[in-house]
Chains A and B, each alone.
Chain A
């Protein structure tokens, strides 16, 4: 009917976009023939600022890398610094780190529920899950003092020990959330409309996944089982019993199933961490943090965030300031060139849906 193609700027101000970025779409009817991503609306020049901060100050700025889960960047940076320095982390510190990382993963999963269902107009699940997410944030607040930004994981351990009675609260919250997740699933995954929307949409094939460097849930949704927690275990993950969710298909539905499976694994991991929490020191004390120097060297620390591998390439020249800290979030791979490729041939209605399922998070693309 209409040969003329329409240009639609999806963003930066658009309710469907996952954060502050823009996708320029070339449409024929409702089908996308070309997509171009434009990022940079959230560029704060972290890596430049870190050149002017000393090592301790860097930890406070790092958690701002990615808003939906601020803890993986801290952990990845801490891992890299520990690798360069050769600093050991006490056993309790490792467990507490894993606990915080898993709690962060849990709250991020709940945010994902909201995004994934909200992008199809099912706001009720989002309202429930974001409302219930406050209970996890309460735990964070009690543990670290902040709801969103925690600055809890330091090189050498964690900032402070858990408060009294915290274990009980975590377990109680987990019981509650586990019950609620069933509700979300009944409304979202059991809905025939959601299944129709999600199946066969935004397909990433196995070959493409390796070529484009897909990580995290999208990779496991293609049937390829890689998870940093399994492959290169860090912190306490080698002592935990958990499985990767691996589903075939590579579409939005498979990715959603991976997350549906893994949120339950996360809850079980949090329980294990609380039950096996060793006693002892939580922080390998460092000298005066403001005068702290790291020997020259470089390392790549990586952790599994909810959207995939989160890595930090840290280079030290032996001074009290990092020479270079270069972050690589999962969205860096998913959100720019891969997204442009996946969107071709999709329906306009699915753009936001696919972006949510790939976990595109602009702040960590441009940093």
Chain B
């Protein structure tokens, strides 16, 4: 009985951790961008203020049931994927042994798409043409980056004969080499796909302000937007932690985790500050050129 209670407490603590870290990363991103742009920028905790304010707003938008479900889907997907990503080496954090099982990398790859799909359903119902266009764009772009991403994951799975994330972390711990060195091409592919996953410039075509207002979330305000922001920050933590786990040997304590994920996070952020935005078809072409090429090489590398 006690263990289940602890598990639940641990799960909540994990969600809080992911939320906090993700929010601070968002704040740090805004601060860094501001510094690059010669500005002072908002405080690092600005995103917390934004989210609390959004939750405290009255929300009286109604476009149908799916519109209310959209943000819920998004946050469910983020939290569920979080439950399957080992936070620290050995799988657990704060009494919480995550739900890792031997097939969870495949499950995660699926789960990470689920949020966007739910969001697409919700945004589709709002009837705002900006949302509709944003959703089509988002799905097209997902097709773009999912293929190289899945290829790099498959390369890892074939190379190390395991589909479990904890299994991969153990292999890295035993051999002493990170997978970003044992299969560099898979790492390059995954990082390039990650640029698309984060929806930062040059791949921010989903919510490009100058084109489709804010895309799928055009009709979402107040609490919904707050849910979306929370879901986004949890999801950012999930993605970064997954990448650190499979490519950079995981982390044995929280400080190591934060350092590694933050270093990884800087790639899309810094690339984003200095790049204009692609058009939709250009973005897909981009993903189907070099990332796909590296993906094939990584597969060959893994096979031979």
Chain A residues within 8 Å of B, Cβ to Cβ: 6-9, 14-16, 27, 29-30, 117-124, 127-128, 131, 187-188, 191, 193-194, 196-197, 347-353
Contact = CB atoms under 8 A, between A and B. Distances in A.
B276 A194 contact: yes
Given A6-B132, A16-B209, A124 B277 contact: no
Nearest to B39: A127
B130 A349 contact: no
A123 to B, nearest CB: 7
A27 B211 CA distance: 13
A124 B275 CA distance: 9
B210 A16 contact: yes
Contact of A15 (B129, B133, B209, B274): B209
Nearest to B201: A121
A349 B39 contact: no
A197 B208 CA distance: 14
Contact of A193 (B133, B211, B278, B280): B278
B259 interface: no
Contact of A191 (B130, B211, B276, B280): B276
A121 B37 contact: no
Contact of A123 (B37, B38, B132): B37
A188 B276 CA distance: 8
A120 B277 contact: yes
Given A127-B38, A193-B278, A121 B204 contact: yes
Contacts of A188: 276
Given A6-B132, A349-B280, A350-B279, A120 B273 contact: no
B276 A128 contact: no
Contacts of B209: 15-16, 121
Given A15-B210, A15-B213, A347-B279, A187 B133 contact: no
Contact of A124 (B137, B208, B274, B280): B274
Contacts of A121: 201-202, 204, 208-210, 275-277
A348 B275 contact: no
A194 B275 CA distance: 8
B37 A122 contact: no
Nearest to A116: B276
Contacts of A347: 279-280
A128 B37 contact: yes
Interface in B191-221: 201-202, 204-205, 208-213
Give the 7 A-B residue pairs with the shortest CB-CB distance, closest first. A121-B277, A16-B210, A127-B37, A120-B276, A122-B276, A15-B209, A352-B210
B36 interface: yes
Given A124-B273, A194-B276, A349-B208, 4 more contacts: A14-B213, A124-B37, A197-B277, A348-B211
Chain A CB within 10 Å — which of B201, B205, B211, B213 has the most? B211
Interface in B156-214: 201-202, 204-205, 208-213
A193 B208 CA distance: 15
B282 interface: yes
7 contacts: A15-B210, A121-B208, A121-B276, A193-B202, A196-B282, A197-B276, A352-B210
A283 B70 CA distance: 67
B278 A8 contact: no
B210 A348 contact: no
Interface string B115-134: 00000000000000110110
A303 B265 CA distance: 50
A349 B274 contact: no
A37 B279 CA distance: 23
A197 B279 contact: yes
A55 to B, nearest CB: 42
A117 B210 CA distance: 11
Given A8-B133, A351-B211, A122 B275 contact: yes
B31 to A, nearest CB: 14
Interface in B96-139: 129-130, 132-133, 136-137
A16 B280 CA distance: 17
Contacts of A191: 274-276
Contacts of B205: 349
Contacts of A196: 278, 282
Contacts of B38: 127-128, 131
Contacts of B274: 122, 124, 187, 191
Contacts of B210: 15-16, 118-121, 352-353
A118 to B, nearest CB: 7
A188 B277 CA distance: 11
B129 A6 contact: yes
Contacts of A197: 276-279, 282
Contacts of B278: 193, 196-197
A16 B211 contact: yes
Contacts of B204: 121
B279 A349 contact: yes
Contacts of B36: 124
A38 to B, nearest CB: 16
Among A29, A30, A123, the one with the most B-chain Cβ atoms within 10 Å of its Cβ is A30
A181 to B, nearest CB: 15
Contacts of A118: 210
Contact of A349 (B132, B136, B211): B211
Contacts of A16: 209-211, 213
A27 B134 CA distance: 13
With most chain B CB atoms within 10 A of its CB, the pick from A7, A15, A27 is A15
Nearest to A1: B136
Contacts of B273: 124
Contacts of A124: 33, 36-37, 273-274
Contacts of A193: 202, 275-278, 282
Nearest to B34: A127
Contacts of A120: 210, 276-277
Given A193-B276, A347-B279, A7 B129 contact: yes
